[in-house]
Structure 1
Amino acid sequence: MTEALREPTFLILTALADKPQHGYGVLEDVRRISDGRVRLRAGTLYSVLDRLREEGLVEVDREEVVQSRLRRYYRLTGAGAERLAAEVDRLRRNATAAAARLRRGNLLADGGPA
C-alpha cells in the first residue's frame, strides 16, 4: 500500500498535471487549486520539488534565462501521473465511504457527495 501524499505534495503534482510550469507558476496554481487556502513558500516548494525529482515523480522540462535569471520548468513524469491518479482514487474512496456513513446516520443532507 502506498503512503498517502501530504497536501502540499498532492497540490504540486496536481499543478504539474496540466502542463510544465516554473516555480512561481506552481506556487500560484497551488493557491488557485486550493481556493487560496494553501500558500506555499518558495523554500517549501523547491524542497518538495527536489524530493519529487529524487523519487522520479517530476523532472526538469526545460530551462530558460529571463531577465538574467534562470527559470526552470518542471513536469510530471509517467510515474508522477500514476502516483497522483492513485492518490485521487484513494481520496475518492475515502470520501465516498465517509459520505455513505453520514447519510446512513442521517447527518448528511440530500444532494451531498456520493
Structure 2
Amino acid sequence: MPYAGGPMTEAMYYVLVALLNPAHGYQLMNEILDVSKGRVHMGPGTLYGVLSRMQKDGLISLSDDDGRRKTYSITIEGRTALKKEYRRLKALLEDGAEVENVEG
C-alpha cells in the first residue's frame, strides 16, 4: 500500500533524512543520531519496524542484500514525501514564531 501522506512520525522523518545516502541498519542508527545532533536514539526494534513499514509504503527500497546486511535507499516517492514533511514542519515553526516572545 503506498504512503497515504499526512504527518510523519519522528522516526519516519529521521529515517528518510538519514537515507539521503543509502545505508544499512547499523549505519542508519548512527546517522540518525548524527542528524538529530544526539537527540534521537533509535534502537534496532524500532528501526526495523519503521523500515519494514516504509518499504511497504514505497518510501524506501532495499538496494542491496549481501546476506549479512541489507542496504536501504530512499525512493522518489520517499524524497517527495520528505520534502512535503519538511515544508509542513517549517510552516509549523513559522506559524509559532511569536512563542519566542512569550514569557515563562
TM-score above 0.5: yes
Q: TM-score, normalised by structure 2?
A: 0.88
Q: Number of paired residues?
A: 99
RMSD over aligned CA atoms reads 1.6
- Name the structure where strand makes up a greater proportion of residues: 1
Aligned counterparts, 1:19-98, within 5 A: 19-65=21-67, 70-98=68-96
> RCO (CA 8 Å, sep 6+): is it higher in 1 or 2?
2
Gaps of 5+ in 2: none
Name the % identity: 30
Give how far 1:36 is off. Answer: 1.2
- The reply to whether residue 7 of structure 1 matches residue 14 of structure 2 is no
Q: TM-score, normalised by structure 1?
A: 0.81
Gaps of 5+ in 1: 109-114
Show CA shifts across 1:32-61 (max 9, x none).
111111111111101100000000000001
Question: Which of 96, 99, 104 lines up with 1:102 in the alignment?
Answer: 99
* Runs of 4+ more than 2 Å apart: none
What amino acid maps onto 2:14 in structure 1?
L
